[in-house]
Structure 1
Amino acid sequence: MSGGGGGPAAGFSYQKFVHFALEQARLRTTLVPHPSQEKFKSVKANENNTIVNALSFNASRIRLLRSLTIEQKNSVQVLDFAGFSEPEYDLPIFCANAFTSPARSIVVLDLNPLYDTTERKDYREKYYKNLMHLIHKYSELLPWGGKITSESLRFFSPVVVWTIFEPTEANHQVLYSAFMDYYKVWLELVDEAVRETSKEKIDLNREAQHKYLTWRAEKDPGYPLLKKLLGESLAKDLVDEFLFEGVSALGTKSFLDYFPEYTRDDGTVNKKRSMIGKSFETRPWDARGEFVGVAEEG
């Protein structure tokens, strides 16, 4: 991605993204502080140059809307923002993860599918057929970030932005534009969603969201940084009770219940990043959102 003028984004902050998201949500609904906010809003890092901000809310149709930002002066900037609907809706999960160092920004921005869009064509048609304009707009501005494993793809949608770029002011402005577009689309989906009345389907939605939360809590790539900044105990609580709140409340299945292929001989979880050993060098979906990727070995 082209630098586009202006050197590294001095003073850049992901707080701008959070402020926009909460402002947009408040235009449409009433945000109520989520119980998890009380415990984590005053989290302090053990490094004086680091500021951690944690906010969480719920609202009509929204089970959890939460953000975590980490700001280290002249060093690392992190954004982890997500929105989860109530189980009465099968809505995609809004997901914005960004890690910026002085050298590069690594970004995932997506409307994560609640159900596999490769196996569930009906779900892909329902939500993504009319959203392909998002990735058509940003696929050149925020190009595919290179090899990514099949493991990482399992909860991505056909409109995912996965990109790595030089952290210039111009590039971050493009990212901010993409964040705004994706988030406004998600809020529109929330507004238009039809409440499910079938207990069976609600239970399926709840389990699908729990499966996602269980995966993310186990595989969170930011955990080593959180552990360094907060200590192991608080970092684990932040992951389980804040970032992926619901992993304990929405279901009782464990990570290995959902993903038995990660079971080691001693019954513990295999911590390797990829168990599948395949990777994708280029975007594996076509312009219509159909999966066409050909995986490469390792």
Structure 2
Amino acid sequence: MKICIEESNHVGFYFEAIQHMSGSCGDLVSYKDEKLTNFDVVSEIKQHVDMHGGDDSCCALAVNKEKFRSIKTKDDETMLHGLSFSAPKIRLLRGLTIEGSQAMKVLDFAAFSKPEFDLPIFCANFFLNANLSIVVLDLNPLYDVTIQRDYKEKYYMKLMSLGQKYAELLPWGGKITSESLRFFSPIVIWSMLNSSKYKHDVLFSAFMDYFQTWLELMDQAVEETDALKILGNCEAQHKYLTWRAEKDPGHPILKRLIGEKRAKDLLRHFLFEGVDTLGTRTFLDYFPEYGCKDGSINQKRSIIGKSYETRPWDAKGKFIGNELG
């Protein structure tokens, strides 16, 4: 397998950036750690494909996404940088960083398999300001694991020890709506961290463990040949993309930085690319409860009004959210 590009050290930005915060984290300014800045996503994928009989196809840079490579914001101080790739089993691997402002740094990194595979979606969202890091790290399930137990058994039951390890180190960060919860797994890390070198080391370790786990699942994945199952995978991924493109919590930040029109373009054609190509169903087709009388989409995050202040799964992966009151 040939590597197509040299510019692949994209994810490392966040882990370097968290060491250069202002305010209460000034004591970390001099802290450096090569492991945080030298992580090469594309080489990791190349290694896994090579080890498992990959062909000579490239881990290819998505050249049609050039306009997202570098985006200047309205304040002329903050920059958005995006890169996306594809690989033999990966439909889309993409990352977006926001940097330049001392007050805010962001990484949004995800990997989506091709519809011939029912792999979970690798998801890493990190938001940083001078005092706080907000973290979501997960192998988002393609199918709702509170309903489809066979999918939970297939992908998550063997990973519960990994999830439990980091659930103890990175405590639950507070309320998550029931609507959002359907797209999270029992091993999700959702946390709010006060900035410290120790916690950032834990976070990097969690990121590496989760990403390596996803790569191993990719290695083991067998291509589906049943057309109906492939169609189901495609629709499930499209439903996920449709939800995220409409209700992603990063939308307000993007709107403030680059305006509503460019924010929507970035959401639909880069961060959640596939929402316009993998299916034709609309947001209200999937989530009719959000429909308003005039046919528009209710802008509320939650219609049901239920949220979970503590982790709604036990250590064995059993959903206990209905028992939490």
Shorter-chain TM-score bucket reads over 0.9
Q: Does 1:43 align with 2:71?
A: yes
Aligned to 1:169: 197
Give the count of matched residue pairs.
291
Cα distance in structure 2, aligned partners of 1:152 and 1:200: 27
Q: Which structure ranks higher in relative contact order (CA pairs < 8 Å, sequence separation ≥ 6)?
A: 1
1:205 to 227, 233, 236: 233
- Asked if 2 retains the 8 angstrom alpha-carbon contact of 1:56 and 1:66, the reply is yes
Which letter does structure 2 place at the counterpart of 1:220? D
Aligned to 1:3: none
Task: Determine helix, strand or coil for the equivalent of 1:130.
Answer: helix
Which letter does structure 1 place at the counterpart of 2:209? D
Aligned to 2:284: 256
Aligned to 1:87: 115
Aligned to 1:224: 252
Q: Does 1:21 align with 2:41?
A: yes
Which letter does structure 2 place at the counterpart of 1:282? T
Shift of 1:51: 2.3
Task: Determine helix, strand or coil for the equivalent of 1:81.
Answer: strand
Cα distance in structure 2, aligned partners of 1:72 and 1:193: 39
Cα distance in structure 2, aligned partners of 1:200 and 1:81: 29
Query: CA 1:84–1:11 in structure 2 vs 1: closer, same or farther (change >3 Å)?
Result: farther
Q: Does 1:288 align with 2:323?
A: no
Shift of 1:53: 1.2
Deviation digits for residues 68-105 of structure 1, max 9, x if unmatched?
01013321010100000000000000000111111211
Shift of 1:18: 8.9
Q: Does 1:181 align with 2:209?
A: yes
Query: CA 1:246–1:12 in structure 2 vs 1: closer, same or farther (change >3 Å)?
Result: farther
Deviation digits for residues 174-201 of structure 1, max 9, x if unmatched?
1111000000000111111010000000
Q: CA RMSD in A?
A: 2.1
Task: Determine helix, strand or coil for the equivalent of 1:152.
Answer: helix
Aligned to 1:278: 306
- Asked if 2 retains the 8 angstrom alpha-carbon contact of 1:61 and 1:85, the reply is yes
Shift of 1:277: 0.8
Aligned to 1:32: 60
Task: Determine helix, strand or coil for the equivalent of 2:322.
Answer: coil
- Asked if 2 retains the 8 angstrom alpha-carbon contact of 1:81 and 1:95, the reply is yes
Q: Does 1:76 align with 2:96?
A: no
Moved more, 26-35 or 252-261: 26-35
Which letter does structure 1 place at the counterpart of 2:287? F
Shift of 1:296: 6.7
Which letter does structure 2 place at the counterpart of 1:205? N
Task: Determine helix, strand or coil for the equivalent of 2:321.
Answer: coil
Percent same amino acid among aligned pairs?
A: 57
Query: CA 1:17–1:88 in structure 2 vs 1: closer, same or farther (change >3 Å)?
Result: farther
Cα distance in structure 2, aligned partners of 1:35 and 1:243: 15
Which letter does structure 1 place at the counterpart of 2:45? A
Shift of 1:22: 3.1
Q: Does 1:120 align with 2:138?
A: no
- Asked if 2 retains the 8 angstrom alpha-carbon contact of 1:47 and 1:229, the reply is yes
Deviation digits for residues 110-130 of structure 1, max 9, x if unmatched?
000000111111000000011
Shift of 1:46: 2.6
Moved more, 145-154 or 95-104: 145-154
- Asked if 2 retains the 8 angstrom alpha-carbon contact of 1:45 and 1:51, the reply is yes
Moved over 6 A (4+): none
Q: Does 1:266 align with 2:294?
A: yes
Which letter does structure 1 place at the counterpart of 2:43? E
Which letter does structure 1 place at the counterpart of 2:44? Q
| Unmatched tracts of structure 1, length 5 or more | 1-5
Aligned to 1:155: 183
Query: CA 1:241–1:295 in structure 2 vs 1: closer, same or farther (change >3 Å)?
Result: farther
Shift of 1:17: 7.2
Shift of 1:293: 1.4
Shift of 1:44: 2.0
Moved more, 133-142 or 109-118: 133-142
Shift of 1:60: 0.5
1:215 to 240, 243, 250: 243
